[in-house]
Structure formats: structure tokens, C-alpha cells
């Protein structure tokens, strides 16, 4: 998938969860990504974040960090 499309999709997810009550939006974004994105998409997201994360919403960046932390614990 093109990086632009991936960024757009991830940011749409973040925008949705920003409207939800509570303070755990990054956790919710991370759960959504791990539940619904295939491994190749997650790998592309992590590579994009590692390269600076241009265009990504801060909530997506925080969610990607949570996913990476969880994978390190496994």
C-alpha cells in the first residue's frame, strides 16, 4: 500500500477514537490496529514511524509505540 494511503487510514482511525470518551485513546487505536490490520500493514506502519512518522497523527504514533512495546514483551 502506498505510504500516503497507510497514513490516511491510520489517521482516520485516530480521528474516530479522539471523539470517544475516556483517556485511553492510544490503547484503543493500538487494539484496533492489531485486531484489524494485517501484519504487513503493521510492519509498514512501524517502518514509517521509525523513519520519522511524517504525516501521522500523534495518537497513531503513540499507538504504534504501544504495539511495539507489547511485542517486545512476548
pLDDT band at 71 (very low <50, low <70, confident <90, very high): confident
Q: Is 62 exposed, middle or buried (0-12, 13-18, 19+ CB in 10 A)?
A: middle
Distance from C-alpha of 64 to C-alpha of 45, rounded to nearest angstrom:
7
- Domain-by-domain residue ranges, the chain? 3-73
pLDDT band at 72 (very low <50, low <70, confident <90, very high): confident
Instruction: Render pLDDT for 22-68 as a digit per residue (tens, 0 to 9).
Output: 999 999 999 999 999 999 999 999 999 999 999 999 999 999 999 99
Distance from C-alpha of 24 to C-alpha of 74, rounded to nearest angstrom:
22
Amino acid at each position: 500500500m502506498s505510504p500516503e494511503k497507510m497514513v490516511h487510514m491510520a489517521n482516520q482511525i485516530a480521528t474516530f477514537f479522539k471523539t470517544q470518551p475516556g483517556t485511553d485513546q492510544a490503547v484503543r487505536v493500538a487494539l484496533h490496529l492489531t485486531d484489524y490490520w494485517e501484519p504487513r500493514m503493521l510492519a509498514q506502519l512501524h517502518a514509517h514511524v521509525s523513519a520519522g512518522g511524517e504525516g501521522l497523527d500523534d495518537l497513531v504514533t503513540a499507538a504504534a509505540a504501544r504495539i511495539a512495546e507489547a511485542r517486545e514483551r512476548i
